Amino acid sequence: MAAVGEAAVSSPARGARWAFAGLVVLAVLLADQATKALVRSSIDPGEQHDVVGPLSLVNVHNRGVAFGFLGGGGAIVLVVTLAALALLLAYFVRHAERPLLWLPTGLVLGGAVGNLVDRVHQGYVTDFIHFPHWPAFNVADMCITGGVAALVLVLELGGRAAGD
């Protein structure tokens, strides 16, 4: 009988975690697509605008994955991306109760979906943030990278993380 009561108590918390992850996905997707649209409308491909210090804005068409890896990979890039998203979602489904797991899940999913939207609609991803000696990147890339780092922290900290 205690199991039924525990399930009833954990169900709203589980739903809240899904809602939090969904809000993060939405926020990342909106920020990513808005910044890319702004860049596409104001910077010609190959053009560079110095911002401050070493930071510049560019308009680069990335046909690969991170840093142009697998450039021209087409279908393989799509399949690998969808497989990674499916694995992350499956993990979240099984472990949504883990403290703060919703945050890295939302960041990675939002970033991946943002870049996937570009691939489907344009055939490439728009990258625009550039530092010398480093490939250009975008908001989605930052969220994926930060999300993976946060996922490692959440998994390493286990149930010891404070707050939810």
Q: pLDDT, tens digit, for every residue of 146-156?
A: 999 999 999 98
How high does pLDDT run on average in the chain? 85
CA distance 151 to 58: 30
Grade residue 2 by pLDDT with cuts at 50, 70 and 90.
very low
Q: Residue 49 is encoded by which pair of tokens?
A: 């605008």
pLDDT score for 1: 44
28 or 85: whose pLDDT is higher?
Answer: 28
pTM of the model: 0.82
Residue type, 103: L
Q: pLDDT, tens digit, for every residue of 51-100?
A: 999 999 999 998 766 555 555 556 677 777 788 889 999 999 999 888 89
Count CB neighbours of 139 within 10 A. Answer: 22
Whether the pLDDT of residue 11 is over 60: the answer is: yes
Whether the pLDDT of residue 48 is over 60: the answer is: yes
Burial class (CB in 10 A: 0-12, 13-18, 19+), 119: middle
Catalytic residues: 127, 141
Instruction: Return the domain boundaries, the chain.
Output: 2-158
